[in-house]
Chains A and B, each alone.
Chain A
């Protein structure tokens, strides 16, 4: 079978997703209009990327297909607030109570290749503003690998290898694929150490998919 790499569910808005034009992203990420999901054979893909802007009523209706995709040993990356329970084992988004900008401070809970060379302050701050990265968390089940957390210990990025036969990377904020490389308007935002995230994440997603494929072979 012709194996494709990573499918990215596109929300189909007029927002320009500049990061999809990056060479490293284009090499392995294929955008798919979200409303084509029900008619798409997911078994052709090694991994799937979904954001919180995707129609989660649609994802809820497609939850069995998503579950089958994961149980077939695939990788799913979700960045966003989970508002419908379509992601196996993951709890609905819980906002953090914000009293000051310090409540948004991101802490690296455990070193991981996805965030290698990335400074915590470049996760917390963007263009001088805190809060872009995460404003709450999608509660994980026991046994996940927590990579990043908020000051109250809320896990905001984690890897779940316990809920399904595949691997989920769950982030409670904006699209990790575009983090640090999104230049949708002239002049900003500046390049910081966060620029490493998308490439390192894609490397990890493909390596994880390979690990799962090897384990099942």
Chain B
């Protein structure tokens, strides 16, 4: 199995989500955030960056995280808010409203309302594991990815909620504005559990597998 580690910030939500057996089984190990800047990540195929990290501690580890990408491996950002300034390529735009103008997290209380998310490419293998409805709870904002990146789930105006970037670095960058770890770990928002149930197996069995072929050709 490809080797994926996740950052762990010690919060109640991450403690629950990352120790949940059905998710923990996809993770080779947890990297405690205050130790990330000095952690050895060289054996990893992928690093999952979890949401709502202490900013200064995470910024201090920027070199480690970018180093994973520089050697051709994969970094997955689950954001739930603005990305760090050193995330290559993307431009962030905060959004608070549903399609009908309601506070985004309450869209489902209003008949006919929604978030307007759709697949950028309906054939993308991601969607077989995570259909768009399982990525629909609230997305905090959108990202305008760099030229040449591949949007996966987008809003009506074409901004990305999830995209893949294989152009900005030698590695693979998957970025989502969603915060499923936080909400599953907080016992709130059932869609997050459906998202994670499909997302983690997809990352390990498909995304890292595909990227890993390139990795073994290029760097190993």
**Which residues in B have their C-beta under 8 angstroms from that of A53?**
11-13, 52
**Which residues in B have their C-beta under 8 angstroms from that of A185?**
96, 103
Asked if A95 is at the interface of the complex by the 8 Å CB criterion, the answer is yes
B106 touches A128 (CB 8 A): yes
Q: How many A-B contacts at CB < 8 Å in the complex?
A: 79
B11 touches A135 (CB 8 A): no
**Which residues in B have their C-beta under 8 angstroms from that of A34?**
54
Q: How far is the CB of B8 from chain A (nearest CB, A)?
A: 8
B32 touches A187 (CB 8 A): no
A56 touches B32 (CB 8 A): no
**Which residues in A have their C-beta under 8 angstroms from that of B22?**
none
B54 touches A55 (CB 8 A): yes
Asked if B34 is at the interface of the complex by the 8 Å CB criterion, the answer is yes
B103 touches A81 (CB 8 A): no
Question: Contact flags (1/0) for A31-49 with B, using CB distance below 8 Å?
Answer: 0011100000000000000
Cross-chain contact of A11 among B11, B16, B82, B105 (Cβ < 8 A): B11
Known contacts A56-B10, A131-B188; A12/B54 CB under 8 A = yes
- The distance in angstroms between the C-alpha atoms of A53 and B33, with both chains bound, is 14
* Chain A minimum-CB-distance residue to B9: A55
B52 touches A55 (CB 8 A): no
| Residue from A33, A58, A136, A185 having most chain B Cβ neighbours under 10 A | A185
Residues on B close to A: CB < 8 A? 9-13, 15-16, 32-34, 52-57, 81-82, 96, 103, 105-106, 109, 186-188
Q: A80-B12, A84-B15, A129-B109 are in contact. List 10 more A-B contacts (CB 8 A).
A: A12-B57, A14-B81, A15-B52, A33-B56, A53-B52, A58-B10, A82-B12, A83-B15, A95-B187, A131-B188
Residues on A close to B: CB < 8 A? 11-15, 33-35, 52-58, 80-84, 93, 95, 98, 127-129, 131, 135-136, 185-189
